[in-house]
Structure 1
Amino acid sequence: MDNFKELSTIWQSNLPQENGIKVSDLRSSGIIDKLKKLEKKHFRINLIKTIAVGVLTLFLTYNILSLPNVSILTKSALGWIILSLMAGMFFYWRMQYNSSQFNFLDNSLAFIESTIIKLNSQKQIITRLMPVMVISLIIGMNAIYLDLLQEENFTIRISMHLFMTSFLLLAMYLGLKVRKRRFNNDFKPIIDELDLIKQNFKNDE
């Protein structure tokens, strides 16, 4: 909280400048350091997630292709799952918070506003992307089960379909909860800090 007053004072003292103080001159305020530390932390988290998804995909692929007489339906469903996961991770990485998106040559108020927007957008990544990925997985896994379990009785088949669908929906629910908590712990404090500086900046205009 100490850097609120410091950063606000720096900006306010430069109000007469036509374009405002440049963000590149404010590294001592601590805001930029916090943003970069946040980026590094979430890069490590996302790298672990990507490795985990890759390992699980290889495990699933190996186990299914090791089965005898794998049908075209199963192979197609497996391909759908792999493609969905690859596309999902691609967009997941593209949507991530990245300090290179920020214009450090911008004036202070414009920097604050654009940074707040970009940080708030992180809340939407999982809520928009995860449901699409989970629905794709549900379609793919149920197609595989439909093919592999066709020799089983109706009760077993329905039970397995329901179990897999419920498991994926539960995973989505837990993933959304974890993401919300991480956003509140990591992103929201910085957003609140920037909001307060922005408000102080406007009040003193």
Structure 2
Amino acid sequence: MSAMDNPPIGRNIRNARDNAHGGGVRPRASLAVRITLVVLAVVALCMAAVTGWNLLAATRFNQATAALNLNLASASKEDADLDALSAAQQQTDAQFQNAGTFGFLLLPQLRQSIETNAEVSRQLSERTRQQIVEQKGLAQSNGEQTTSDNGENADAKSGGALSDEQKKQVEDLLKANQQSTPSDSTEQNDENNSDTKNNQTSKPW
């Protein structure tokens, strides 16, 4: 074999070395691509989960708000059933609580609306409980009375009615809820009718 054959052998050795180094780079590049794809998939999955949770929270919020509007309308009626109203408010408060779960994942506007209406619902629940306690105390007091004149009977009958301050508080609750959520014409008519009746006669809670 002549010396002229050595250069091709040297080039073959260098080529083999280059191929060896090149073979080591390709797996690293492939691994980086796979990691990037996994990260993008995780981010997309998280965004989808957050979006889905916001849609679920919005649905729960709308249901709770509809129930709250009905309860506010019932609270302004002359023949309001306080026990039924209190039970309905317990469910409404629970609905708002569920809607606000994981609030840090909710959009700011949705989270604020839930907090605002939840506070209105809490105030109505507290007001209803106070009226139930007052009416029970009044009934017990009336049961202990042995004699009363017509004036006293009239006072006893009107004892369960809303005071001017309580009427104003219910109206404030209605206004607060209307400012945070759109109100339909039926609810507005109920409020107007309630205001008209307030000017004519006192109403039981």
Fold similarity call, TM over 0.5: no
Greater relative CO (CA pairs within 8 A, separation 6+): 1
Q: TM-score, normalised by structure 1?
A: 0.40
Q: TM-score, normalised by structure 2?
A: 0.40
Larger radius of gyration: 2
